């Protein structure tokens, strides 16, 4: 069973539809017992970092999520803002503390004209051709859909799996043990996104 964490800030229905299309058993929940009983967790997110962390704390989810991810080593997939929450901190609208699962921080995208912030639209990923997460996809032929104004700066280069080019390299996918996270929206990325989700569902860390 895959549990999509519902803390009030995410495209949970479209994610549920994507996993169900792949034949996965999936629920949307903020119930601690259901989260603990699940085999995998998905942490989505749309909106501001500080608001998301406050919503997670208000629902009493932070300790449970951290236990599942860091102690029990349950596979966790972060998507868009959900990925950014894995970091130690963010400077979005002030300074905020994240879940701290990765040695990383969130900073505003800085680009030169004619590029604009937010980064919205389709972009190619650069990734190792033999990486399991992108099995069935080819570098240079793998577009994914991005919507973000802030990006993750990894302090451990070993966590960086894939980048996109938007006025320079932008962190697109990170991984550390049982943790996987993507800045883009696989559920909005058509066949490429579905293939990536299928690979994650089949993955056994």
Q: Is 185 in the active site?
A: yes
- The whole-number pLDDT of residue 139 equals 77
Of the listed 96, 151, 185, 198, which one is catalytic?
Answer: 185
Q: Is 80 in the active site?
A: yes
Instruction: Give the mean pLDDT of the chain.
Output: 96
Of the listed 39, 80, 126, 198, which one is catalytic?
Answer: 80
Q: Which tens digit of pLDDT belongs to each residue from 83-128?
A: 999 999 999 999 999 999 999 999 999 999 899 999 999 999 999 9
Q: Is 34 in the active site?
A: no
- In this prediction, residues 133-156 reach a mean pLDDT of 93
Query: Domains of the chain by range and CATH?
Result: 2-202 (3.40.50.880)
SS (H, E, C) the chain: CEEEECCCCCCHHHHHHHHHHCCCCEEEECCHHHHHHCCEEEECCCCCHHHHHHHHHHCCCHHHHHHHHHHCCCCEEEECHHHHCCCCEECCCCCEECCCCCCEEEEECCCCCCCCCCEEEEEEEECCCCCHHHCCCCCCCCEEEEEECEEEEECCHHHEEEEEECCCEEEEEEEECCEEEECCEHHHCHHHHHHHHHHHHHCCC
Per-residue confidence band for 58, with pLDDT thresholds at 50, 70 and 90 = very high
């Amino acid at each position: 069973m895959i549990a999509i964490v519902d803390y009030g800030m995410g495209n949970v229905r479209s994610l549920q539809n994507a996993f169900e299309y792949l034949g996965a058993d999936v629920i949307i929940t903020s119930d601690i017992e259901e989260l603990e009983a699940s085999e995998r967790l998905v942490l989505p997110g749309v909106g501001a970092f500080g608001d998301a962390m406050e919503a997670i704390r208000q629902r009493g989810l932070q300790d449970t999520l951290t236990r599942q991810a860091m102690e029990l080593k349950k596979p966790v997939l972060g998507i868009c803002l959900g990925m950014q929450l894995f970091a130690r901190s963010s400077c979005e609208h002030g300074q905020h503390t994240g879940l701290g699962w990765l040695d990383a921080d969130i900073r505003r995208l800085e680009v030169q004209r004619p590029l604009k912030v937010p980064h919205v639209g389709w972009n190619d990923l650069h990734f190792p051709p033999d990486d399991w997460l992108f099995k069935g996809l080819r570098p240079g032929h793998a577009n994914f859909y991005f919507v973000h104004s802030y990006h993750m700066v990894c302090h451990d280069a070993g966590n960086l799996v894939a980048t996109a080019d938007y006025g320079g390299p932008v962190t697109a996918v990170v991984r550390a043990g049982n943790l996987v996270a993507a800045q883009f929206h696989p559920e909005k990325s058509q066949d490429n996104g579905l293939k990536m989700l299928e690979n994650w569902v089949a993955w056994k860390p």
